[in-house]
Structure 1
């Protein structure tokens, strides 16, 4: 059976393409797509639409704050505060500490371009170095060496003053940036270093008022935020109320830079002359406790603190204890008068030595003075007479008085680091007779020079215990705070202190060799030469010499205390070492404070005699 041929698939006719005769195009017949492919495409599109909707919902609802913050970051410029500090001035407005603007110079060699250059032109580092070197007063080779091989972020200098920075800006060199920062400057140098302290290179307070009053010295500065338009123009509505407020508060001291300078120089010269370990001098207004001067040597320059021994950064006159010796005798006599254990016109017999509980006690010259009154007790500085006079005060009351006037308490003061003194406990003081005996002439307990000045101010102001301080508070602009009125806790009877002040005046009036007597002025004083104790033991040959003065006696206003630690050589006494410093301070104080003489006639006679020595 013959095999049948397969059916022949018909061919569609070819149609000729336009412009191409004899050519035809194949036509493919349309066929329906599979259903599963349509569903797959539809699912993908639906999923994409759902994703876009979810993303839109996320951006509009969930991530709104983040997007808003990012937009604000682009639209808003933030200027962080420099962290400036408030200025410190003395009682008369003289600058003591202030912040000055300084600059760090940065170079970016990849962007170097001069004014007038084509924007695409790149200047060589040596061309820039030659121009900057003239302004910075540095060799251009040095600047070029710093920039060698570095495309950006090269520090060319720091501590650049505003004038030099302005000259650099006028060069208009692209690729040069100036970064501003504040630098603490102390115009008075070492004059107030012992009290004001300093900031380290990281601007962290390290000592003095800079540390203790840190919160008061920090300016109220806020981060400045300014909104900008699309073209970068600042928009005023973006600035919060008070953004441009300027903090012009200044911390005013009670100290007088003029008197401080005289005090420090006189003290320095005397410490150097006697090869002493150190010295301190204090001048206090007895009416309100203001310190007009508080100097100590050796000292340091806070502008170059890194060059000095850190041990100098503390003020020893308010932090170190010592036994005051004879300068405490007037205070003890006031306590005895207050207790009515002695009388103002009383006398005591001084035989030169005595024994208390088996312990011998002598006068400094081991000689007796016989029957003497109390002005002579102070003038002769008799230890024996003081022991006998204070022996009339009950031991319990003596200890109670020493505690009442705050020997063992920290003084109420703004002076940084002030400490309490040391006083034997009540039981030891009462049960051991030698304790009140040595306390009678200022030994066996310890205090700071600051505390001693406070107690002598109590004698001068009529018995009030005022708080020693060196600040008057914050003032705005150029305004200065007036001196505060008197205050303080009334401790002693004013009549009692008046008697003791008269006795101290006798000491100065009858001791012309002391060098404190000034014709026409009534001045009281007392010297002190005490053994130096350390850890309860007296150091052989080590002395602390001191002098305390009051003026004027008829209207007491000031106490001057000078303490010189461990002077070397012979004839080292309060009268020879400390008193000459006090005299120079008193001379300056009379002039600066314009104190009128108590006896103008005596002053006039003295001046006439000085002008015409041959007369009389």
Structure 2
């Protein structure tokens, strides 16, 4: 190569200078040409080096890294959800869990001569599907990638593998399972096929349940194989040490659902809900709605509205169950005393609008009533007269202070803010204040009403309702994370709340709430039977009503607040006292039995 180059340079030097040129001139020219050639080569080499290092450098580095390292993303299941009981002692009830499953794919071109009918017949008893249905899927699909079944359990997958049929492929995945089925569906919710929450806590707590996973970098050898010694020990470990623990008590959840279903069936009602709260903490012990759904089979033609927890997401007018709140407001404003009396005419006119008691048609005027009597008899006229003694502006501000016009802040999704008339209209129009006094003309959620009553039950403190207790260690029950919540704020004095609780005790002992009475136990309560507002516009639906009952137990030192609401019960005797109060009584009996609470000594 070098000799050829020298011969070439000698030839060119003779051509340029001629054969008779002095030898030294030919040598000098050859040296100059050699220098030019070397400079040209060096420039080409420099260009190539710049191209490799600068232009193609990042891409080449990426390729080299890909050949030398593997990025592994370990699979970590979605967090399990359990109720309030001990996980370490295996007392907690499992509400949601990821389990291994498979998708069964068929690739007919790989059947190796076996007929689709033969394969369909072999799979039929294992998958519990008709062979004709499987055959139709096989022959109507393409030559490959036909999905025969999703969520194949491990034991079924083992049976399929034992068939040794070429062309059948089992692809591993995870399935979200809800062992309690519909029992806690309105709280837990469900995930879709992509493991994304669509309702309940699965939706609102997606970030806590679907954990962030950091990829791991593992080096490869010269053949591209992973270096076993460098694989982290944690790679194959499923990070399932912590679970999401709820405040729900599934024993009460079952009792509430059973009692609710009984009354819905008896009165042919459209829907209903039961809520049980710890008033001191805001912990939701039970929250059921009917009708409900099975989150394992959410795709089976349910009305989409059923996935919204209406106890949290729908507004309604509470009716007489709001009267104790108004009594507390009046006492706190010193508009009247707990031993005050009013004259109940049975029927009055306010701003040109008639207002009457539910029993006016057959009872007529009720006469002089104490504040306790107003609650015991659920007197609308009595409430109007009591709240007329309040300053309209102060009355309105008190309604705002107790929480009307804003959401409760519960950790479940889709909660709206409660609705209250504009302040100017409320202060100016007497009928607005009158209807508000007996629980109509404004709206809130059933949960919102239960929270307001928790304020009366706990001595006057406003609390934030919640169902998420936190994340706990599976083996130790240690609480490793807990949501931050607002501090309790006082909105009623202890004296005010004690006075109202005593009045509500008399409602159960001697008044409209007697259907919730349990011999030997002090229970405070209030019935409610409200007209149902027209969702399409103003006014109320003719003949439609919402019945409810709220209770404190024990009456004077409450540890539980319970609310039952039944929407559109049928029958002439469908009232809060006959429809909702028995539901609460049934749940209270379960609480007494579970906690072993003895009756009081007479």
TM-score, normalised to structure 2, is 0.83
For residue 440 of structure 1, the aligned residue among 429, 437, 440 is 437
Which residue of structure 2 aligns with residue 66 of structure 1? Answer: 59
Indicate the SS of the match to 2:407. coil
The structure whose Rg is larger is 1
Which residue of structure 1 aligns with residue 558 of structure 2? Answer: 556
Deviations 1:264-305 (A, max 9, x none): 121122112211121111111011011111111111111111
What is the CA RMSD across the aligned residues, in angstroms?
3.5
Indicate the SS of the match to 2:208. helix
Q: CA 1:424–1:136 in structure 2 vs 1: closer, same or farther (change >3 Å)?
A: closer
Q: Is the 8 A contact 1:99 1:184 kept in 2?
A: yes
Superposed counterparts of 1:75-474, under 5 Å = 75-82=68-75, 84-92=77-85, 93-106=92-105, 124-125=113-114, 129=119, 133=123, 142=134, 146=138, 153=145, 155-168=147-160, 177-230=169-222, 234-236=226-228, 238-239=230-231, 243=235, 246-248=238-240, 249-307=242-300, 308-366=302-360, 367-474=364-471
Q: Displacement of 1:107 after TM fit?
A: 5.2
Q: Is the 8 A contact 1:287 1:486 kept in 2?
A: no
Q: CA 1:481–1:467 in structure 2 vs 1: closer, same or farther (change >3 Å)?
A: farther
1:492 partnered with 2:489: no
Report the number of matched residues. 556
Q: Displacement of 1:385 after TM fit?
A: 1.2
Deviations 1:332-374 (A, max 9, x none): 1111111222222222222212222222221111122222222
Q: Is the 8 A contact 1:191 1:260 kept in 2?
A: yes
Deviations 1:509-565 (A, max 9, x none): 114983211122110111111111123311111111111111002321111101111
**575-584 vs 49-58, which deviates more?**
49-58
For residue 589 of structure 1, the aligned residue among 580, 585, 591 is 591
Q: Displacement of 1:68 after TM fit?
A: 4.2
Q: Equivalents in 2 of 1:61, 1:345: separation in Å? A: 90
Q: Displacement of 1:172 after TM fit?
A: 6.9
Q: Is the 8 A contact 1:219 1:247 kept in 2?
A: no
Q: Displacement of 1:137 after TM fit?
A: 6.2
Q: Equivalents in 2 of 1:77, 1:169: separation in Å? A: 30
**438-447 vs 495-504, which deviates more?**
438-447
Q: CA 1:191–1:58 in structure 2 vs 1: closer, same or farther (change >3 Å)?
A: same
Q: Displacement of 1:229 after TM fit?
A: 2.8
**318-327 vs 471-480, which deviates more?**
471-480
Q: Is the 8 A contact 2:77 2:238 kept in 1?
A: no
Q: Displacement of 1:439 after TM fit?
A: 1.3
Q: CA 1:590–1:226 in structure 2 vs 1: closer, same or farther (change >3 Å)?
A: same
**80-89 vs 530-539, which deviates more?**
80-89
Q: CA 1:239–1:463 in structure 2 vs 1: closer, same or farther (change >3 Å)?
A: same
Q: Displacement of 1:213 after TM fit?
A: 1.1
Q: Equivalents in 2 of 1:148, 1:72: separation in Å? A: 45
Q: CA 1:194–1:59 in structure 2 vs 1: closer, same or farther (change >3 Å)?
A: same
Indicate the SS of the match to 1:269. helix
Q: Equivalents in 1 of 2:105, 2:42: separation in Å? A: 52
Q: Equivalents in 1 of 2:450, 2:209: separation in Å? A: 28
Indicate the SS of the match to 2:338. coil
Which residue of structure 2 aligns with residue 614 of structure 1? Answer: none
Q: Equivalents in 1 of 2:249, 2:316: separation in Å? A: 27
Q: Displacement of 1:429 after TM fit?
A: 1.1
Q: Equivalents in 2 of 1:86, 1:239: separation in Å? A: 25
For residue 547 of structure 1, the aligned residue among 546, 549, 554 is 549
Q: Displacement of 1:168 after TM fit?
A: 4.7
Indicate the SS of the match to 2:97. strand
Deviations 1:230-276 (A, max 9, x none): 46653146446965664222211111112111111211221122111
Indicate the SS of the match to 1:206. strand
For residue 572 of structure 2, the aligned residue among 570, 573, 582 is 570
Q: Displacement of 1:201 after TM fit?
A: 2.1
Q: Equivalents in 1 of 2:223, 2:182: separation in Å? A: 52
Q: Displacement of 1:382 after TM fit?
A: 1.0
**574-583 vs 368-377, which deviates more?**
368-377
Q: Equivalents in 1 of 2:146, 2:538: separation in Å? A: 60
Indicate the SS of the match to 1:98. strand
Q: Is the 8 A contact 1:525 1:547 kept in 2?
A: yes
Q: CA 1:150–1:334 in structure 2 vs 1: closer, same or farther (change >3 Å)?
A: closer
TM-score, normalised to structure 1, is 0.81
Q: Is the 8 A contact 1:288 1:486 kept in 2?
A: no
**449-458 vs 260-269, which deviates more?**
260-269
Which residue of structure 1 aligns with residue 25 of structure 2? Answer: none
Q: Equivalents in 2 of 1:278, 1:145: separation in Å? A: 40
Q: Equivalents in 2 of 1:409, 1:465: separation in Å? A: 13
Indicate the SS of the match to 2:99. strand
1:475 partnered with 2:475: no
Q: Displacement of 1:146 after TM fit?
A: 2.9
Q: Equivalents in 1 of 2:513, 2:280: separation in Å? A: 30
Indicate the SS of the match to 2:411. coil
Q: Is the 8 A contact 1:90 1:254 kept in 2?
A: yes
Q: CA 1:125–1:73 in structure 2 vs 1: closer, same or farther (change >3 Å)?
A: farther
Q: Is the 8 A contact 1:528 1:547 kept in 2?
A: yes
| Unmatched tracts of structure 1, length 5 or more | 1-31, 113-122, 603-616
Q: Is the 8 A contact 1:472 1:481 kept in 2?
A: no
Q: Displacement of 1:486 after TM fit?
A: 11
